[in-house]
Amino acid sequence: MFRSSLRTPYPFFYDFRTALIINIILFGITFLFLFLFRPFEINEKELILNYPETALVHSLVSFILFFGLTLLLPLVRTAPYHWTLVHELIFIFTVLICIGIGQFLIRDFIYDNPNNWSWRYLLTEVKNTVLIGGLFALVLTTALLEKLKVSHVVKSSCIHIPELNTHEISNQVVTIQTQVQSDNFTLKIADFLYAKADKNYLEIQLPEQKLLKRISLKSFKEQLIQFPEIQQTHRSYLVNLKAISSITGNAQGYQLSLKNSTTTVPVSRNQIESFEKKLQALNT
């Protein structure tokens, strides 16, 4: 039960813009928390700076390290679609440990204490950071996970998937231009299920076969722009809305099950609105 909950899909918030906003908010919360509540025992006589300046320095160290690690995360993380609660918790506690070490390394700049570089203070800084930050992180991630999951599950259950008649399904065939001219191919729209970007290639799923072509998702999408049923649902996925058999929700967004396929296709949170509008248009 516990292990399965750790594998629950969790939203990935660490693209540059979102991560910057989160870090600015956390910087403000951290400074106000330290300034107003003074949660840790501090000998005022040891302070080189006054207390508000000390709280500001601690908050800036947290901001710099947290934001820096979010910028490094793309080098080691799994794809956002595969981000889970356990990935989120591992990343958060890694950040907290690094912040604790960072707070220890700046002690000489803010505390006049001959024992600044002792193991005792290192462990104290790491322990305090992990305990306070970890408690806040656990409460926030649990509450956010449940809120998003319930919201997306409820919304997905209300989405109407139209029953399509044979004459509504496009039998048109288009020629797709790839980056390699000899690899150009024809695609029957009625057979197209979804496409998934895979580095420099695109996986194109048909009912009984999968094509691997050297073409970007953007270029493929542009060549199918005249077909309203072809919709991007995720930065790595393009799907035929007329191939959907069912829709479910989780914390990351929606999951689409498709006819003639065992693979589920994600609808990311930032694509939900356009996805719902396009489905509604197809229903009318």
Q: What is the domain partition of the chain in residue ranges?
A: 2-157, 166-283
148: confidence class by pLDDT, cuts 50, 70, 90: confident
Residue, of 223 and 164, whose pLDDT is higher: 223
Q: Is 83 within 8 Å of 10 (Cβ atoms)? A: yes
In this prediction, residue 165 carries a pLDDT of: 45
In this prediction, residue 238 carries a pLDDT of: 96
**CA-based torsion, 21, 276, 232, 74: positive or negative:** positive
78 has a pLDDT exceeding 70: no
Structure tokens at 83: 């981000």
The CATH class, in words, for 166-283 is mainly beta
Stated pTM of the model: 0.74
Rounded average pLDDT over 120-148: 91
* pLDDT above 90 coverage of the chain, percent: 56
Q: Is 12 within 8 Å of 80 (Cβ atoms)? A: yes
Residue, of 34 and 3, whose pLDDT is higher: 34
In this prediction, residue 270 carries a pLDDT of: 87
